[in-house]
């Protein structure tokens, strides 16, 4: 038993069905099983929290934070450190007991009444009953919706964590962690109830992205167009990966005047658009490409890497001593930078290491790409865009966004972008953009044809842009000449997809493959209700999206 596991939460799941011996992502059965048990504990905590919320009680923010951090810890490519999981598990029992004492006396599900042992061996044994497939009798569609809600919540927790670190949160979302988790263990809920909870998860995803946008744009001001060098510069350096802008800001402050160049990596690229971040002269450029190439790109580099969120892959020995993690990210044996009591971080160790490593020896020729087209910047061109559409200069908008990944089928997104007629505008977000963001798409009606909206959480920005355009054309988002082509990999993309569905957005193309956790009936429901289309070939999908618009 100890060497078996079951996980099907991400797109690269083994055989398109489930990882059972070890994770394709590098997750061991030990980590996978500890994660199952941690989720089980969160469900138990939520069973006690729910009646308290119904009585009008506000759940302590430290408990909310714990649930949020724990959910985020179990998101794909975040934490691979067994000890970090054991610590969270021990804390989960303490919290469960507090809420158990406060909650009204009643019958509670097994996840609530279960008491965790403090020993890892017993935790691992007990984790069997926390497995996704443990209850063989469970209706396949209910299991599917429970998983969908849980993965949506994981995505939400990542955004919630990022916002909270800046001092922003939504009480509604905070409460929903408990209500959503409780729903995933509540045998009395019907399929209809579960569908309602799934849509509610989407609404909460919109809400958390909105709060995060508020945090990012109030702290770092609205992104504006900015050219970013994607080649390297001579000198010591630190590469910052992940999504967390506040980590980047703290590091920029602490490296000022020290002769260290800071590069963004992966999902940190949009940081260059924010005025309060791009003002730092030593934020010199963007390094590498999307997450799945990190082992090759970081191999033996003469500098350091800071991972602020996902996606972390198994570090090769050639850079294991120079990659650092922070927040909920972790890998057994990799240096972790903790948060101080006052919420700040001390980056001196990574700074010293970067200086010691000496950095790149030569400058490469500058090559620039354009970022910074969040809702504010893009909509500052709304008048021109609307006129260009009316004059027939722009025929169609394509939002090609989402996660990147390792599978060869992902060339679809490159081919698709390349194939678009010259009078089409491409909006993009999240790390899937690396499939085409270094290509030159030129301009249309005086505007760049490729507009980089930002990170995956900036799906909120995309929604703002689409809604504003719909208003300008006096129509609704579904009637715009707009096609959404989503690539998914991990659970933030699940949260993003649910967000779009909860807003009633129809006809989304989804790929590169469909989630293994969608049962045939649940998938059919999504197809029937929202017209979700699995991607086929770029030629076919382009033809049908342009045809539909005419």
For the record, the structure tokens of 514 come out as 């469909």
Q: Which of 431, 444, 459, 477 binds ligand SF3 (CB under 6 A)?
A: 431
Selection from ligand SF3, ligand SF4, none that 10 binds (CB < 5 to 8 A by kind) is ligand SF4
Residue 85 interacts with ligand SF4 (CB under 6 A): yes or no: no
Q: Which is nearer to ligand SF4, 406 or 503 (CB)?
A: 406
Strand spans (E) along 33-83 = 79-80
Residue 526 interacts with ligand SF3 (CB under 6 A): yes or no: no
φ/ψ of residue 254, rounded to 5: -75, -15
Shortest distance in whole angstroms from residue 316 CB to ligand SF3: 18
For the record, the structure tokens of 110 come out as 């097994």
Q: Which of 123, 248, 400, 456 binds ligand SF3 (CB under 6 A)?
A: 456
**Torsion, CA 488, CA 490, CA 493, CA 497, rounded to 10:** 80
Shortest distance in whole angstroms from residue 4 CB to ligand SF4: 12
Q: Which is nearer to ligand SF4, 32 or 389 (CB)?
A: 32
Residue pair 76/489 in contact (Cβ under 8 Å)? The answer is yes
Q: Which is nearer to ligand SF3, 154 or 335 (CB)?
A: 154
- Compute CA distances 37 → 73, 142, 215, 220, 310, whole Å: 13, 20, 32, 38, 21
Measuring CA to CA, which residue among 533, 534, 535, 529 is closest to residue 202? 529
- Residue 19 makes CB contacts below 8 A (sequence gap 6+) with 5, 6, 7, 8, 13, 25, 27, 32
**Window contacting ligand SF3 (CB under 6 A); options: 278-286, 391-399, 445-453, 489-497:** 489-497
Q: Which of 291, 397, 412, 525 binds ligand SF3 (CB under 6 A)?
A: 291
Shortest distance in whole angstroms from residue 405 CB to ligand SF4: 10
Give the DSSP H/E element, type plus range, for residue 368.
strand 368-371
Q: Which of 1, 2, 3, 9 binds ligand SF4 (CB under 6 A)?
A: 9
Q: Which is nearer to ligand SF4, 225 or 523 (CB)?
A: 523
Shortest distance in whole angstroms from residue 11 CB to ligand SF3: 9
DSSP state of 399: E
Q: Which of 144, 157, 184, 310 binds ligand SF3 (CB under 6 A)?
A: 310
For the record, the structure tokens of 51 come out as 């009646």
Shortest distance in whole angstroms from residue 178 CB to ligand SF4: 24
Strand spans (E) along 376-496 = 396-402, 424-429, 443-444, 447-448, 450-454, 482-487
For the record, the structure tokens of 442 come out as 């030129």
Selection from ligand SF4, ligand SF3, none that 13 binds (CB < 5 to 8 A by kind) is ligand SF4
Q: Which of 159, 177, 441, 489 binds ligand SF3 (CB under 6 A)?
A: 489
Instruction: List interacting residues with ligand SF4 (CB under 6 A).
Output: 7-10, 12-13, 19, 23-25, 27, 32, 76
């Amino acid at each position: 038993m100890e060497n078996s596991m079951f996980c099907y939460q991400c797109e690269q799941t083994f055989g398109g069905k489930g990882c059972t011996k070890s994770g394709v992502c590098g997750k061991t059965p030990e980590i996978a099983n500890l994660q199952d048990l941690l989720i089980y504990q969160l469900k138990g905590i939520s069973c006690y929290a729910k009646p308290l919320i119904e009585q009008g009680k506000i759940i302590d923010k430290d408990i909310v934070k714990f649930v949020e951090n724990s959910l985020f810890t179990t998101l794909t490519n975040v934490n691979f450190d067994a000890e970090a999981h054991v610590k969270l598990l021990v804390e989960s029992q303490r919290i469960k007991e507090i809420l158990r004492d406060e909650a009204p006396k009643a019958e509670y599900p097994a996840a609530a009444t279960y008491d965790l042992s403090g020993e890892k061996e017993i935790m691992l044994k007990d984790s069997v009953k926390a497995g996704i497939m443990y209850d063989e009798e469970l209706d396949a569609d209910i299991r599917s919706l429970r998983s969908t809600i849980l993965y949506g919540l994981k995505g939400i927790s990542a955004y919630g964590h990022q916002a909270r670190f800046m001092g922003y949160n939504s009480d509604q979302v905070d409460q929903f962690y408990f209500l959503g988790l409780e729903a995933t263990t509540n045998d009395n809920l019907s399929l209809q109830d579960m569908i309602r909870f799934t849509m509610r998860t989407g609404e909460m995803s919109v809400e958390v992205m909105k709060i995060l946008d508020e945090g990012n744009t109030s702290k770092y001001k609205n992104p504006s167009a900015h050219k970013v060098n994607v080649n390297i510069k001579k000198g010591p350096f630190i590469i910052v990966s992940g999504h967390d802008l506040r980590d980047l800001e703290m590091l920029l402050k602490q490296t000022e005047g020290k002769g260290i160049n800071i590069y963004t990596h992966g999902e940190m690229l949009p940081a260059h658009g924010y005025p309060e971040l791009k003002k730092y002269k030593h934020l010199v450029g963007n390094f590498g490409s999307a997450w799945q190439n990190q082992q090759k790109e970081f191999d033996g580099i003469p500098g350091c890497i800071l991972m602020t969120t996902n996606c972390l892959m198994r570090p090769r020995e050639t850079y294991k001593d120079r990659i650092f993690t922070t927040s909920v990210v972790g890998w057994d044996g990799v240096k972790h930078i903790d948060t101080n009591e006052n919420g700040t971080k001390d980056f001196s160790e990574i700074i010293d290491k970067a200086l010691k490593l000496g950095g790149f020896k030569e400058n490469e020729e500058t090559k620039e790409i354009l970022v910074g087209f969040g809702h504010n910047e893009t909509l500052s061109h709304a008048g021109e865009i609307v006129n260009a559409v009316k004059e027939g200069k722009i025929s169609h908008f394509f939002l090609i966004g989402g996660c990147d990944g390792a599978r060869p089928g992902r060339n679809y997104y490159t081919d698709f972008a390349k194939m678009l007629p010259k009078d089409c505008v491409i909006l993009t977000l999240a790390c899937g953009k690396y499939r085409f963001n270094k290509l030159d798409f030129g301009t249309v009606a005086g505007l760049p044809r490729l507009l980089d909206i930002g990170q995956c959480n900036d799906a909120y920005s995309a929604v703002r842009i689409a809604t504003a355009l719909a208003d300008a054309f006096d129509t609704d988002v579904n009637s715009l000449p707009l096609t959404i082509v989503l690539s998914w990999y991990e659970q933030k993309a699940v949260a993003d997809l649910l967000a779009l569905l909860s807003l009633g957005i129809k006809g989304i193309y989804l790929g590169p493959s469909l989630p293994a956790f969608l049962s045939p009936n649940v998938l059919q429901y999504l197809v029937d209700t929202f017209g979700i289309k699995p991607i086929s070939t770029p030629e076919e999908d382009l033809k049908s999206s342009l045809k539909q618009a005419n």
